[in-house]
Amino acid sequence: MRGNRKLKLPAQWIAVLSLLALTFPAEVHGQPPNPPLDVTPDRSVGVLSEDPSYGERWSTSIFPFGNYTGPVSGAPVFCRTYLRFPLGIPAGSTVQTATLFVYVDDYWPGPGNAPMSVYPVAADWTPDSVDWYNMGAWPALGEAVATTVVSSDGGWFTWDATALVQEWASGARPNYGLALAAADLNSAASNWAAARRLTASDPATLPYLAVNFTAPLPTATPQPPPTAAPQPTAAPQPAAPTAPPPPMPTPIPMLLPETGAQGVSFPAGLALAACGILLLLACSRLRRR
């Protein structure tokens, strides 16, 4: 039992270290966010529903927004500013945050504050193609995506437009821009409006959109497998000379009896020689006698 307890502790540490090993690489190798991108509008116009008795009812530089009661007519006056921002981020990027910055240096009819909202524009538009003297021809707006209380203190005011810009970046919503207007579009009860009027010619007070995003990781282009270099074809080698066959042994000629004669075998020849010798010996004895 003690041996089993000693084995459990290392196993637990191994499990913990395995989880850490799976966690840390994602943090180390994750794609870092790109530097914040400040985008100024490529289309812009502000409009009033009533003649202000001085200047024009529309402007591409003043940018009024809010509702108030006209000092001459006593009727509600509606103001809107339309802005379109070209994102210019790589396709497939992930937008972390997007903040709209608008500078205010004028207000009327007096010091105060009012809630102002950001609305997505629902149709394409250009400053030159819309009859700004006809309020019914103003580009339609979607539901408000962010609201901020703007005060007569002036300076920079911000709206969180992250959700809207994420839709633009993903293609879920066409980028027709956004509009600044009163939180209650159809009421002048707040009796207040603001604008960038006193510094309209100063590029440092232009509205801008600050976008934080992460670009997609570059995709490795598949490379074709390397093609083997053609090898020189070896010249055909002459066939190795074939060794001549070993000479066949020359048969020793055998003396054969002439045609028609019978051959004498070796034992028979010995017997005849022995008989001849015995005959000679017998003849020599007879002569001695």
| 152, pLDDT greater than 80 | yes
What's the confidence (pLDDT) of residue 56?
A: 79
Please say whether the beta carbons of 210 and 162 come within 8 A: no
Dist. CA 88–CA 207, nearest whole Å = 17
**Helix or strand or coil: residue 203?**
helix
Q: Which of 8-17, 28-37, 197-206, 216-225 has the lowest mean pLDDT?
A: 8-17
Q: Which of 52-56, 122-126, 200-204, 249-253 has the lowest mean pLDDT?
A: 249-253
Question: Cis peptide before 109, with omega less than 30 degrees from 0?
Answer: yes
Q: Where are the domains of the chain?
A: 39-214
Q: What average pLDDT does range 162-178 have in this prediction? A: 97
In this prediction the pTM is: 0.66
What's the confidence (pLDDT) of residue 253?
A: 40
Q: What average pLDDT does range 148-165 have in this prediction? A: 97
Give the number of other CB atoms < 10 A from CB of residue 237. 6
Task: Label residue 270 by pLDDT band (50, 70, 90).
Answer: low
Structure token digits, residue 82: 């339309």
| 237, pLDDT greater than 80 | no
What's the confidence (pLDDT) of residue 35?
A: 81
14-52 tens-digit pLDDT: 444 454 444 444 333 445 677 889 999 999 999 999 887
What's the confidence (pLDDT) of residue 170?
A: 94
Q: What average pLDDT does range 109-113 have in this prediction? A: 91
What's the confidence (pLDDT) of residue 37?
A: 93
Dist. CA 165–CA 181, nearest whole Å = 18
Containing 266, the helix (H) or strand (E) segment is: helix 266-288
Task: Label residue 261 by pLDDT band (50, 70, 90).
Answer: very low
What's the confidence (pLDDT) of residue 57?
A: 84
| 239, pLDDT greater than 50 | yes
89-106 tens-digit pLDDT: 998 899 999 999 999 999
**Of 75 and 272, more confident:** 75
Q: What average pLDDT does range 59-88 have in this prediction? A: 93
Task: Label residue 243 by pLDDT band (50, 70, 90).
Answer: low
Q: What average pLDDT does range 231-255 have in this prediction? A: 56
| 228, pLDDT greater than 70 | no
| 3, pLDDT greater than 50 | no
Average pLDDT, whole number, for the chain? Answer: 78
What's the confidence (pLDDT) of residue 272?
A: 56
What's the confidence (pLDDT) of residue 31?
A: 57
**Of 190 and 197, more confident:** 197
What's the confidence (pLDDT) of residue 289?
A: 52
Structure token digits, residue 86: 């070209």
Please say whether the beta carbons of 84 and 47 come within 8 A: no
